[in-house]
Amino acid sequence: MIQRDSTIREAELKDAEALARLRVKTDGETEYMDREEGEGCLYPKDFEDLILKDRKEMTNLCLVACDKEKVIGYCRCEGNNLKRLSHQVTFGIAILKEYWGCGLGRQMLERVISWSENQGIHKINLSVLASNDRAIRLYEKYGFKTEGCLKDDKKLSDGKYHDTILMARLSNK
């Protein structure tokens, strides 16, 4: 097994190019993502803008997972400036497939939960392909509950339609 020397930290402007490449690669490694490889490309400048926005907005957060200096995963929470929705964020995560099972998803999720509690965020939302049992188990372990199901939400390479589960975690406060 490859020795993992990973760290998780807040994204920096210097990560923009690596994030742009990583997003394309992770989209192509699994059908658990919303996009296929190359769709909805974000370029390094787009990631620079997101990183700057996330550092400015109190309800936004972008974390990167690094193996030494190589960016191998990221997660992002995005809040909403509308008053009626300002108590919640939407969470998403992507990790290079070769690093699945190394605990990076768990570590990033723990950081997001801690950050959201410190920010006074009441609700963390996410969506996950219904067949992604591993992710669903992780989210349930950290208090996420299923709030709904989008039937036939995604059409995958098998030509079949697949459901998406909507999950959320409410703060204890």
Average pLDDT per 10 consecutive residues for the chain, totaling 173 residues = 71 95 82 66 88 94 92 95 94 92 93 95 97 95 98 91 97 79
Rounded CA separation 126/91 (Å): 5
What pLDDT sits at residue 30?
74
Domains, the chain, in order of start with CATH, read: 6-170 (3.40.630.30)
| In the block, residue with structure tokens 């490859």 | 2
DSSP structure class, residue 102: S
What span, in angstroms and rounded, lies between the C-alpha atoms of 115 and 52? 18
Q: What are phi and psi of 3, to 5 degrees?
A: -70, 130
